[in-house]
Amino acid sequence: MPSLPAGWSKVVRRSLVGLLALAVVSGASTAGAAPPSDAATPDALRYDVSLRADADGSHWKGRQRVSLRNASPRPLREVYLRLWGNGEDGCGTSAAPAPVTVSQVRGGRPGSLSVGCTALRIALAAPLARGERATISFDVSLTVPTRNARFGREGAFRFLGNALPVLAVHDAKGWHLDPYASPGESFYSLSSDFRVRLDHPSALVVPATGRTWTGPGRAGRTLTHSIARHVRDFAWAAGPFRTAVDTTPRGVRVKAYWAPDTSAAGVRLTRADAAAAIDRFSDDYGRYPYGEIDLVMTRNFGGGMEYPGLVLLGTTDEGSAVVHEIAHQWWYGIVGNDQYGAPWLDESFAQYANARFYRWDMEDCWSPDDWSDPHAALTNSMAYWTRHRGEYHLIYTAGPCALARLETTIGTPAMARLLKRYARDHWYGVSTTADFKRAAQNATSKDLTRFWQEHRIR
């Protein structure tokens, strides 16, 4: 746990408990601003998934179909599947194959795996003109790794974050085929629709992204169905969870799932904070659109990890990082970004929201002394932070401090209007640092040039 600015002791106690121990394992760049030839593509994605689990949820096999559209005026001749679940293990070995495998591809010709077996090129059956749709489908096999991680397990509980293959994005920078970044995140995806059917033993409770319901399967099995619209990924968990449901004053269902050995006090506090946060951020940034959110809590999960409509949380007597993770529903989920290229746009914004929720004193939280590298900037990519892991905490400390200082500079009412308008303008879209700097400058008559320089926002 890095040292934090004065007055921030609550970061450790309430929100960042273990967050950086996990390395926060939470889009595309110029929606609306780029010329048509640079449009992010493929878009208007629809994923249909049907998977069957083994006895304890460690293995899932089935079929996945992806319907896509070419948003660029240039013919689309290929797509790339990102198999992020292979990020930690790469291509595996003969004794321990890669956790995610794809086979029996239809609608295109698969090439060889690349980027540490996290990228699979598929040449489309025919070039796709602008506005035309195509469909690819494939068999998928998922083996949950033995580590306690976003795609991993803890005791009898399985976590399947970043497990489903999703399509990479092509935009003005070309195909985004960045490597997996273990200190943080590499993920960049566009808002998509998912329809998922999970066939599993009835002894397993399965929280999942989207609006879910269950029905009977074959003997001793249950079918969990989910429909999720305008989300950037799909995650689920499985295990003998205890459950409870709360409804916020604004009508959002907060569905809690926890392992029996999780702190009862921590579960209560997490549920209360989640309900308060989801409505608070709805007021601050725009109404939460998904209807429900799932809180998946265990004792030893390292910190927290956000997915659309579902968060994974290590939970102690003092609660969890739930408010930070719920803030990510807006800052990365609804307002997307390239998480490899500009991680501050989701992590710093989520932590700023977290700090405002808990009313932390941020008066003196910025210090130039925190920056040992003159080339470091809040806006650096994960390529930099992977090489300088000891500095990555600045995304969570100096980042929200910079936003707090911006609030002081332009005034609290102007900052509130800025963030709400900014979220509205990028709702289900993507944002860039340039977008935010332009929006902030438009929100004030003060020249912010020196502010950006001082706070390393480049």
Strand pairing class (292-298; 253-258): parallel
Average pLDDT estimate for 210-238: 98
DSSP annotation of 233: -
Q: Tell me the whole-structure pTM to 2 decimals.
A: 0.92
pLDDT band at 374 (very low <50, low <70, confident <90, very high): confident
Q: Is 35 exposed, middle or buried (0-12, 13-18, 19+ CB in 10 A)?
A: exposed
Residue 171: strand, helix, or coil: strand
pLDDT at site 19: 42
pLDDT band at 37 (very low <50, low <70, confident <90, very high): low
How many CB atoms within 10 Å of residue 442? 10
CA distance 436 to 423: 10
CA distance 179 to 338: 13
Answer whether residue 1 shows pLDDT above 90.
no
Provide the residue type at 222 as one letter. T
**Alpha-carbon torsion, ordered 17, 22, 27, 30, to 10 deg:** 80
Percent of the chain having pLDDT more than 90?
88
DSSP annotation of 162: S
Nearest to 409 by CA among 438, 449, 382, 372: 449
CA distance 66 to 193: 10
The pair of three-digit structure tokens given for residue 194, joined into one six-digit string: 């998912």
Query: What average pLDDT is seen over the chain?
Result: 92
Model confidence pLDDT, tens digit, residues 109-151: 999 999 999 999 999 999 999 999 999 999 999 999 999 999 9
CA distance 366 to 377: 14
pLDDT band at 58 (very low <50, low <70, confident <90, very high): very high
Angle at 332 between CA 182 and CA 6, to 5 degrees: 75
Domain spanning 9-19+332-454, CATH architecture: Orthogonal Bundle (1.10)
Nearest to 165 by CA among 55, 58, 82, 277: 82
pLDDT band at 38 (very low <50, low <70, confident <90, very high): confident
DSSP annotation of 430: B
Answer whether residue 31 shows pLDDT above 50.
no
